[in-house]
Amino acid sequence: MEQIWLTWAKQLQAIASTGVHFSDDPYDRERYTEVAHIAQQMLSALGSVPIEKIEGLVTDFAKGYATPRIDVRGAVIQNDQILLVQEKADGLWSLPGGYADVGLSAAENVAKEISEEANIQVGVRSLYSVRHKAKHAYSEDARDFYKFFFLCEQTDDADPTPGLETGNVGFFTLNELPALSQGRVVPEDINAAFHASRQAAPPALFD
């Protein structure tokens, strides 16, 4: 779980962004902009990173009502092994997935991500977890995310191979997991996938 100061800084950033977008009063806009700068300084100090990097993360500032981003991940389990991809960005491993694209449902997004990152086709079986990133053991992030995790089944006969953003792919047992990219996935997510795959409970409705 992230530090409470990080949570407060992100909330201030969101309030300031929404205020700048919707306010017609130039003095209020100036004050909201000052609040945003203070929030960015807090995020920079908490993360020990240059403020320019923090400013670069907030690409939608003052463009509308500030809301969390959506990250989708897919779990493909075969023969008691789970499919993981090695991220080129950090050399660590994760469930395939990424940002949700506009115009696609969450399930369509996760199927697309698995196709791009592992070169296999899947059907989406069920939604097994929704997490607020800030409330779990992921690496701390200046941005706010909801993370959607889906159980998926391979629908073609292709062998998984890396995509443009992945350096390697493979199936792993729960007891032999490689080093995980913990900004993207934590062991709890993989444990939950195995648990959900063994349950007969009715799935949540999704598109």
Q: Are residues 78 and 33 in the same domain?
A: no
Residue 207 lies in a domain: no
Q: Are residues 50 and 87 in the same domain?
A: no
- Between the alpha carbon of residue 46 and those of residues 5, 37, 41, 142, 151, the distances in Å are 8, 14, 9, 9, 35
Q: How high is the pLDDT of residue 44?
A: 75
Question: Can you give the residue range of the structural domain that contains 51?
Answer: 4-57
Return mean pLDDT, the chain.
Answer: 87
Q: Are residues 90 and 42 in the same domain?
A: no
Q: Are residues 99 and 153 in the same domain?
A: yes
Tens of pLDDT, residues 133-156: 988 999 888 788 999 999 999 999
Q: Are residues 39 and 78 in the same domain?
A: no
Residue 63 lies in a domain: no
Mark which of 13, 36, 57 sits at the end of a domain.
57
Share of the chain above pLDDT 70, in %: 87
Q: Are residues 50 and 80 in the same domain?
A: no
Q: Are residues 43 and 124 in the same domain?
A: no
Q: Are residues 139 and 98 in the same domain?
A: yes
At residue 175 the predicted structure's pLDDT band, cuts being 50, 70 and 90, is very high
Q: Are residues 191 and 144 in the same domain?
A: yes
At residue 13 the predicted structure's pLDDT band, cuts being 50, 70 and 90, is confident
Tokens at 60, concatenated: 């939608």
Residue 206 lies in a domain: no
Residue 41 lies in a domain: yes
Q: What is the CATH number of the domain that holds 97?
A: 3.90.79.10
Q: Are residues 79 and 49 in the same domain?
A: no
d(CA 76, CA 81): 8
- The Cβ-side half-sphere exposure at 36, using a 13 Å CA radius, reads 21
Q: How high is the pLDDT of residue 46?
A: 66
Q: Are residues 166 and 76 in the same domain?
A: yes
Residue 202 lies in a domain: no
Tens of pLDDT, residues 26-79: 878 788 888 888 887 877 776 665 655 555 555 566 566 677 889 999 999 999
Q: Are residues 73 and 11 in the same domain?
A: no
Domain count for the chain:
2
> Mean pLDDT, to the nearest integer, of 157-178?
96
Residue 38 lies in a domain: yes
